[in-house]
Structure 1
Amino acid sequence: MTYSLAKIAELIGGTIHGDDQTIISGAAGLEDAVEGDISFVSSDKYLNVLESSSASAILIGKNLYKSDIKTPCLLVDNVYLALSNLLSIFSPDIHDVTEDKTMSFISPDCQIGEETKIGMFSIVESGTRIGNRTKVYGQVFIGENVKIGNDCLIYPGVKIYPGCEIGDNVILHANVIVGSDGFGFAPNANGEFKKIPQIGNVIIENDVEIGANTVIDRASMGSTIIRKGVKLDNLIQVAHNVEIGSHTVIAAQAGIAGSSSLGSYCQVGGQAGIVGHLQLADQTMIQAQSGMTKSVKKAGTKWYGSPAIEYNNYLKSFAIYKNLPDLQSRISKLEKLLEELQQQLK
């Protein structure tokens, strides 16, 4: 399907500089674009690449546009938000599910919504309810009494344990585990560990996306809760009774220990660790590979390091740390000089 640049501007917004009847048939990066493609520029460091690009049009931030750019441009306030809307136009429907009811098992008492599809070799156990237009790929396991909302997308290998609840417009990528037992064990007099039954569940609210191989443990009692709009990357561990606030984003390989609570609009970098029973305020930002060991009460703060300290303090401390070899050498020289002076005074 092709669109004029004017039509694209109508669909995603923005102001056109250049030929608004330029025909666009796809989207690609600056270096890969061919005639008919629209590309994008999100930083001034890519402006020099623009000159050699074969793209027919450029999506560009208003603050980056220069009048000497010869390629037709669509100027927007937020390049990445506009790019998201743009790619939705050219994104093919890759989410079709092949159904064969002779090769899957759906308990007779399940409630399956209209236009919902369940792929081959998937299992849906007793008492489960799935809403409308949800797509369940092959080899998915959905346990007893699970609730799944409308317009969800559940990729192959996902396992949803009994009693868990999933809202509308949720995406679970391959091999996500929802509702596995929390890591709960009690030591006895002999130093052996006895398993603590995990009788709670997991609640995932609307508009959540969870990356491949992420695990969300069920609560020991009550619920582990993933609030509306949360985005979790691949390979994240969310322990029992954790609550992640709305529209928080967490990058790959992060881990959150039991009973910790993250506020809304937080950002957590890759491989960060959060110990148990912490409360982090809204809009907390944690840099990659940091280790949070204490609660954060003030909203909008940044943290870095392990154990993590406030970001600006970390930068000051690191400036000293990286100079430690030089400082140590200077101290050694001063000590030697002091020793010589003491010898002269004797």
Structure 2
Amino acid sequence: MGNKLLSEIAKAVNGTLRGEDLSVKDIKPLNIACEEDLSFVLDKTNNELACFSKAGAFLCYKGFETTKPVIEVDSPKLALSKVINIFYPISYREPLIHKSSVISENAWISDKAYVGPYCVIEEGAVIEDNVELVAFVYIGRETKIGKGTRIFPFVSIREKCKIGENCVIQAGAMIGNDGFGYATDSYGHHTWIPQIGGVSIGDEVDIGSNTTIDRGSFVDTVIKDNVKIDNLVQIGHNCTIEKSVILVSMVGLSGSVHVKENAVLAGQVGVKDHITIGKGATILAKSGLMKDVPDGVTVMGYPARPYVDFFKERILIERLPEIERRIKKLEEKIESLKDQNNNE
């Protein structure tokens, strides 16, 4: 990792350099940065901390005031992600097929791929250029892994799944296990319905640790491009997740849920089966979704409803003790008036 000129960084993030064109050696947070480092001020809440920072320069929002050199950008958080990649670029492992891995003779593996220790690759699987299977990864038969995808230890991707290019699948994720489908007879006996679909995942999809994505019952469960999935998320069979959706930790989607583009589901959201969540909708944390959500709407609560209505209800609930006292006083006054009338 070599030093970088501020002017080079500004050009890379489409920013504007104000002040001296210093050479910086690293990107660090405000509280630990030194004079040779570039730090970052994402918004006005960081202003006070920036005043005491020893950083030599700042990546910042437009209008931030300081005597030190700055790179001004429209979106500091987005620019920060690019700067981190400048100082810490992704480095792919050298091509290798480790001798401890078990690979079918009928699998196809690019000579530019890395297959680490104790991986299993079944018949008909395809592993494309610059794929990394770090270690202990299972790839089922006729499953395809697209270029540049990195898969970390103890990931299982079962048969007839498709993973796009430049995806990241974190340790312990399970893709393509059987969906939860049963038929129950009049005696209450449950019979499993075979799940014969697959899972189709687009490009630049990130999947967190211990997330599970079930295969479809007849057609594929579909995750489209640029979807970001946190740890411990459950996606049921036949779900469709459209482009650039964010699913935060412990979200649970029942079968056949349709989540449209750019929707955000915060932590611990539970979603009933066969529901549609509209484009750009936001489901706030710990909500239970029982019906469709229109485009662009924010909901929360259990059952989930528009967040304005939720907070109105919360305010009323917090006022209940006061309301109860007032009702009791009114009841006492009414009783007093009744007694007065009876005495007259």
Q: TM-score, normalised by structure 2?
A: 0.96
Q: Which residue of 2 aligns with 1:51?
A: 51
Residue type of the alignment partner of 2:9: I
Deviations 1:272-327 (A, max 9, x none): 1111110111111100111110012x311110111110122212222212211211
Please tell me whether the aligned partners of residues 167 and 204 of structure 2 are also in contact (alpha carbons under 8 angstroms). Answer: yes
| TM-score, normalised via structure 1 length | 0.95
The question of 1:306 aligning with 2:302 is answered: yes
Aligned to 1:166: 163
Contact 2:281 2:297 in 1 (8 A): yes
| 2:83 aligned with 1:86 | yes
Alignment correspondent of 1:3? 4
1:13 aligns to what? 14
Aligned 1:58-207 pairs, distance under 5 A: 58-63=58-63, 65-66=64-65, 69-93=66-90, 95-96=92-93, 99=96, 101-207=98-204
Whole-Å separation in 2 of the counterparts to 1:241 and 1:173: 22
Q: Distance in 1 between matches of 2:297 and 2:121?
A: 44
Q: Which moved more, 1:315-324 or 1:215-224?
A: 315-324
Deviation at 1:220, TM superposition (A): 1.2
Mapped contact 2:95–2:111 kept (Cα < 8 A): no
Aligned partner of 2:212 in structure 1 is 215
Matches of 1:95 and 1:237 in 2, distance apart?
29
How many Å separate the matches in 1 of 2:292 and 2:67? 53
Q: Report Cα offsets for 1:200-247 as digits up to 9, x if no partner.
A: 111101111111110000111111110111000010000111111111
Contact 1:97 1:137 in 2 (8 A): no
Matched residue of 2:99: which SS? helix
* Cα contact 1:182–1:218 (8 A) shared by 2: yes
Equivalent AA in structure 2 for residue 261 of structure 1:
H
Structure 1 unaligned residues grouped into runs of 5+? none
Q: What is the match of residue 338 of structure 1?
A: 334
> Which secondary structure does the structure 2 equivalent of 1:139 belong to?
coil
2:324 corresponds to which residue?
328
Contact 1:97 1:118 in 2 (8 A): no
Q: Partners of 2:176 and 2:213 in 1: how far apart?
A: 6
Match of residue 34 from structure 2: 34
CA RMSD of aligned residues (A): 1.4
Q: Cα deviation per residue 1:57-79 (whole Å; 9 max; x = unaligned)?
A: 1010004x12xx12211100000
1:100 Cα shift?
A: 5.1
The amino acid across from 1:218 in the alignment is R
Question: Number of residue pairs matched?
Answer: 341
Query: Does the aligned pair in 1 maintain the 2:92–2:130 contact within 8 Å?
Result: no
Q: Residue type of the partner of 2:34?
A: V
CA distance in 2, matches of 1:115, 1:97: 8
* Distance across 2 between alignment mates of 1:262 and 1:329: 46
Deviation of 1:93 (Å): 4.1
Inter-partner Cα distance in structure 2 for 1:183 and 1:59? 48
Equivalent residue runs for 1:252-271 within 5 Å: 252-271=249-268
Partner amino acid for 2:237? H
Which shifted more, 189-198 or 98-107?
A: 98-107
**Contact 2:95–2:112 (CA under 8 A) maintained in structure 1:** no
- The CA deviation at 1:92 is 4.9
Residues 155 and 40 (structure 1 numbering): CA distance in 2 closer, same or farther, change over 3 Å? same
Amino acid at match of 2:319: N
Deviation of residue 114 (structure 1)? 3.7
- The answer to whether 1:249 aligns with 2:246 is yes
CA distance in 1 between partners of 2:325 and 2:180 (Å): 48
In 2, the alpha carbon distance for the partners of 1:97 and 1:145 equals 25
Q: Which runs of 5+ in 2 are unaligned?
A: none
Alpha-carbon distance between aligned partners in 2 of 1:124 and 1:91, rounded to the nearest angstrom: 31
SS in 2 for 1:317: helix
| Residue 190 (structure 1) shift | 2.1
Residue 113 of structure 1: how far off its partner (Å)? 2.0
Contact 2:279-2:296 at 8 Å conserved across structures: yes
Deviation at 1:99, TM superposition (A): 4.0
In structure 1, the residue matched to 2:24 is 24
Deviation at 1:184, TM superposition (A): 1.3
| Residue identity in the other structure for 1:342 | K
Separation in 1 of the partners of 2:228 and 2:106? 32
Q: Quick check: 2:38–2:57 contact (8 Å CA) kept in 1?
A: yes
Task: State whether residues 97 and 135 of structure 1, in contact with CA within 8 Å, keep that contact through their aligned partners in structure 2.
Answer: no
Matches of 1:140 and 1:259, distance apart in 2:
28
Cα distance in structure 1, aligned partners of 2:216 and 2:279: 23
Q: Which moved more, 1:94-103 or 1:143-152?
A: 94-103
